[in-house]
Amino acid sequence: MNELRDSAAILHVGMKRTGKTTASLQMMVEFVEKQGKPVVVLDLGCHPSFDNFRRISLNELPKIHSLPGKKYFVYRPYESLQVFPEILEFCTMVSKYVRNAVVFFEDFTTYVEGNFHPIIKGIILNSRNSCNDYVFNVHSFSDVGPFILKHCEIYLVRETIDDPNDLPPKIPYTIRPTVKQALGLVLKENQRNRNKYAYRIIYKEENRIG
């Protein structure tokens, strides 16, 4: 089979201790090992899981494919008081010069909420053209803006604080029943297993749970 996969924007939703970071690391391994794509994590919280990733600077982003060593990179803004300009600069560099890669936005809602900046909207809309996959890790559906809910191709759903019977209206109308169903299944499985590690994948374009 010669079929090739299109890049996607993935919304990874789950409250604390539901295995988001662990699953993210596993996905990163698969992106690098199976897909041959370098991974960059935008990490503001200095999460210890990414401490042994190679720290990348903005100037190095255009040559991400030729940098030596394993292709696991982390970008952490240097100036704590200049976080937002640095994030926008990071997104601009990714949009302009990075292709065939994966960017993980760790705890995305920490630094982006409400209406998105056009630069961030741009990288989400152009994910297919740039062949970049984007993964946005967030804690709940209610945390994120409608734009990302509308334009992400895949939802990776874990247990959240959202009530399946009273989902935020910003979730697109067509996908709301599927999200409700996925959340219900996750909650049931977690109750059965007495943990919080259950998840479901929603392929939004096909409106189905994977």
Partner 1 sequence: MTTMFQAPNNPFEGSPLSSFLSTPPRTVAPPEPPPPPEPEVTEQTAPTQPNSLLSSVFGANTATPEPERLTADEIRARAEVQTRTYGAVILLVNALIECVKVSMTLKKGEYAAYLELKSNLGTDGVVNVYESDPAVKEIWLKGKQFDETLENIEAEHELEDAEAKLLFKAIKADLERKNRKNEIGDDSVWGTMFKLMLTRQLTSAFELITMFTRRRAQR
Q: Which residues bind to partner 1, rule: CB under 8 A?
A: 3-8, 10, 19, 22-23, 25-27, 29-31, 34-37, 49, 52-55, 62-63, 65, 68-70, 72, 96-97, 99-100, 129-131, 133, 154, 156, 197, 199, 201, 210
Minimum gap (Å) between residue 115 Cβ and partner 1: 28
Q: Are 12 and 182 in contact (CB under 8 A)?
A: no
- Long-range Cβ pairs for the range 181-190 (8 Å, 24+): 181/209, 182/155, 182/157, 182/209, 183/157, 183/159, 185/209, 186/157, 186/158, 186/159, 187/159, 190/159
Q: Which two tokens stand for residue 199?
A: 């998840």
Cβ proximity to partner 1: between 52 and 174 the closer is: 52
Minimum gap (Å) between residue 205 Cβ and partner 1: 13
Cβ proximity to partner 1: between 23 and 116 the closer is: 23
Cβ proximity to partner 1: between 31 and 116 the closer is: 31
Cβ proximity to partner 1: between 6 and 79 the closer is: 6
Minimum gap (Å) between residue 65 Cβ and partner 1: 7
- Long-range Cβ pairs for the range 162-170 (8 Å, 24+): 167/141, 168/141, 168/142, 170/141, 170/145, 170/146
Beta-bridge mates of residue 8: none
Minimum gap (Å) between residue 101 Cβ and partner 1: 10
